[in-house]
Structure 1
Amino acid sequence: MLKFFRKIRKELIAEKKVSNYILYAIGEIVLVVIGILIALAIDNANEQGIKREKEQIYLMGLRDEFETSQTKLKELISFNRQSYEDSKTILVYMVDPENLPDEQELANLLYNALAFDISFNPNNSLLMEMINSGSLKDISNPRLRILLTNWISNIEDILKQEMMLANERDKILDMFRSEQNSIKTLYDLTGVSDELGIPASSDRTSNRNLLKSKEFENNMLMFILTSIKTETLHYNPLMQSIDEILKTIDNEIKE
């Protein structure tokens, strides 16, 4: 095609047809510009296709991460709820000294209330990689970018709340380090001693005196309050955030 136009140009120059040559030159320039624009459009389309493919890979990875985090959070909410519900049951016994639980029931309640560390550990490896590498900009949905950014700050807030909860829990556990109470009794009656390969005590120290302790009651009340606030003010909103993120991701994934 270019050889053809060059041949015409030579003929026009030889025939000294200046006006026709000018028109031809303009046409040739237009043809070159059009060719450049077409090439740029093709390159841009290819680049956009690569970006969309990369975004889809990120979206599917993020969906997997947040689905795992959702499962973890559901389990953690269940553990936390069992913890404060059994703690409330202990307080119910404390207001009725004539109807105290036996040592076995008390041990089970104390174990369920205090044995489990309440800590949310979300799957954030891909999201953190995207943030650190600047790849979060590859997510085209601006609302999703905001949700993902807010997610990190929400996790930091929850970590602070969980530290407060752990502190209240430790105050109760510290009471078992005194001469009046016994962690060993809890271990023996809940089967922990067997799991650790520790022989059971022949003469157990009772923990029922805790139910008459004002210090224990105060610590339990603070622990229950902090546990409930952790669920209602932090875990439940976080679950709503996960639901919104997953819904937005699903709408963006092309399957």
Structure 2
Amino acid sequence: MKLFHKKRFQLLRGTRLSKYLTYAFGEILLVIIGILIALGINNWNNNRQLTKINNELSQKVIKQMDRDIQKALAFQNDLDTIQNIYLKVLDRDYDQSKVKMNSMVSTLLFDVYDLPLDQTVINLIDNATLDNSEQSKQLTAISSMYKLYAKNINDIEKIIYEKLTSNLSEIEKTQDWYVELITDYKCKNDCIRYLGSDTFKSQIASLRFLYVNLYGDLANGFKNDLKAYKLRLEEL
């Protein structure tokens, strides 16, 4: 038995050992190559799927940006109406076709016009898995742009709301006709005279500055940025 083991060892030390090692090394190399090929195919497939997902995401974002551009345009039309009502009260030139007398009191005292900006685009992008492409970088930049405008719009709306509330509170404290106005929605002679007073004009001048200058510029900048970012995303 010992003689048999000794003979096998001698054979392995010779040519057969060399052939065996070559064969074993070849098999190991083939296994490694197979694993690398499998990993490469898997990565390629994952990247292809991720690219497809990002392309679909981009299309959804572009459609929502189109809707938000239309919202911004509609808000600018509303703002133009407010502007003309304010100019009338301030005894400045205004477009009569854009001023409806039956809605003036409500606009001056109660109505808050805002730019409806939801979180759709932000949620779409922030909840997605992005790759390292230029397309994904643009999507990330779009999300950041939306967040910045959302904060600024929220801030200016809060200031405008507080200003309107303050104006109404001043009327409540100083004007006897306030009860009739707030209860029956009627603005009679005393109310009309107040709306033409220097005190009220000062309040409207401040509101006009907040709405037209600050909010208006913000809405216009948002619309223009939407168009620019949307065009860039479409190109990618």
Q: Give yes or no for TM over 0.5.
A: yes
Identify the match of residue 242 of structure 1 among 213, 216, 226.
226
The answer to which of 240-249 and 174-183 deviates more is 174-183
Rounded to whole Å, the distance in 2 between the matches of 1:165 and 1:114 is: 12
The Cα shift of 1:180 comes to 4.2
How do 1:160-175 residues align onto structure 2 when only pairs under 5 Å count?
A: 160-174=155-169
Rounded to whole Å, the distance in 2 between the matches of 1:175 and 1:155 is: 30
Is contact 1:176–1:183 with CA below 8 Å preserved after alignment?
no
Is contact 1:168–1:223 with CA below 8 Å preserved after alignment?
yes
Rounded to whole Å, the distance in 2 between the matches of 1:91 and 1:50 is: 60
Which residue of the partner structure matches residue 96 of structure 2?
none
Unaligned runs of 5+ in 1: 1-11, 96-103, 190-203
Unaligned runs of 5+ in 2: 1-10, 94-98
The Cα shift of 1:162 comes to 1.2
Is 1:69 matched with 2:68? Answer: yes
TM-score by length of 2: 0.74
The answer to which of 55-64 and 171-180 deviates more is 171-180
Rounded to whole Å, the distance in 2 between the matches of 1:87 and 1:139 is: 50
Is contact 2:50–2:131 with CA below 8 Å preserved after alignment?
yes
Rounded to whole Å, the distance in 2 between the matches of 1:105 and 1:241 is: 32
Which residue of the partner structure matches residue 120 of structure 2?
125
Cα shift readout 1:37-78 (whole Å, capped 9, x = no counterpart): 111111111111221222123222222222222211211121
Identify the match of residue 179 of structure 1 among 176, 181, 184.
176
Are the structure 2 counterparts of residues 27 and 111 from structure 1 closer, same or farther at C-alpha, using a change threshold of 3 Å? same
Are the structure 2 counterparts of residues 84 and 28 from structure 1 closer, same or farther at C-alpha, using a change threshold of 3 Å? same
Which residue of the partner structure matches residue 50 of structure 2?
51
Identify the match of residue 151 of structure 2 among 123, 131, 156.
156
Cα shift readout 1:174-227 (whole Å, capped 9, x = no counterpart): 4664324663799569xxxxxxxxxxxxxx445331254221011011011111
Identify the match of residue 207 of structure 2 among 223, 227, 251.
223
Is contact 2:153–2:215 with CA below 8 Å preserved after alignment?
no
Say which SS state the counterpart of residue 157 (structure 1) adopts. Answer: helix
Is contact 2:112–2:161 with CA below 8 Å preserved after alignment?
yes
Q: Please tell me the residue identity of whatever aligns with 2:144.
A: T
Rounded to whole Å, the distance in 1 between the matches of 2:145 and 2:107 is: 33
Q: Please tell me the residue identity of whatever aligns with 1:179.
A: D
Are the structure 2 counterparts of residues 184 and 25 from structure 1 closer, same or farther at C-alpha, using a change threshold of 3 Å? closer
The Cα shift of 1:88 comes to 0.9
Say which SS state the counterpart of residue 77 (structure 2) adopts. Answer: helix
Rounded to whole Å, the distance in 2 between the matches of 1:213 and 1:113 is: 13
The answer to which of 105-114 and 71-80 deviates more is 105-114
Is contact 2:58–2:139 with CA below 8 Å preserved after alignment?
no
Are the structure 2 counterparts of residues 80 and 59 from structure 1 closer, same or farther at C-alpha, using a change threshold of 3 Å? same
Are the structure 2 counterparts of residues 57 and 91 from structure 1 closer, same or farther at C-alpha, using a change threshold of 3 Å? same
Q: Give the alignment's Cα RMSD to 1 decimal.
A: 3.5
Are the structure 2 counterparts of residues 184 and 105 from structure 1 closer, same or farther at C-alpha, using a change threshold of 3 Å? farther
Say which SS state the counterpart of residue 90 (structure 2) adopts. Answer: helix
Say which SS state the counterpart of residue 92 (structure 1) adopts. Answer: coil
Are the structure 2 counterparts of residues 40 and 240 from structure 1 closer, same or farther at C-alpha, using a change threshold of 3 Å? same
TM-score by length of 1: 0.70
Which residue of the partner structure matches residue 24 of structure 2?
25
Percent of matched pairs sharing the same residue: 16
Q: Please tell me the residue identity of whatever aligns with 1:170.
A: T
Rounded to whole Å, the distance in 1 between the matches of 2:125 and 2:34 is: 37
Are the structure 2 counterparts of residues 173 and 106 from structure 1 closer, same or farther at C-alpha, using a change threshold of 3 Å? farther
Q: Please tell me the residue identity of whatever aligns with 2:203.
A: N
Rounded to whole Å, the distance in 2 between the matches of 1:184 and 1:246 is: 45
Are the structure 2 counterparts of residues 106 and 127 from structure 1 closer, same or farther at C-alpha, using a change threshold of 3 Å? closer
Is 1:83 matched with 2:82? Answer: yes
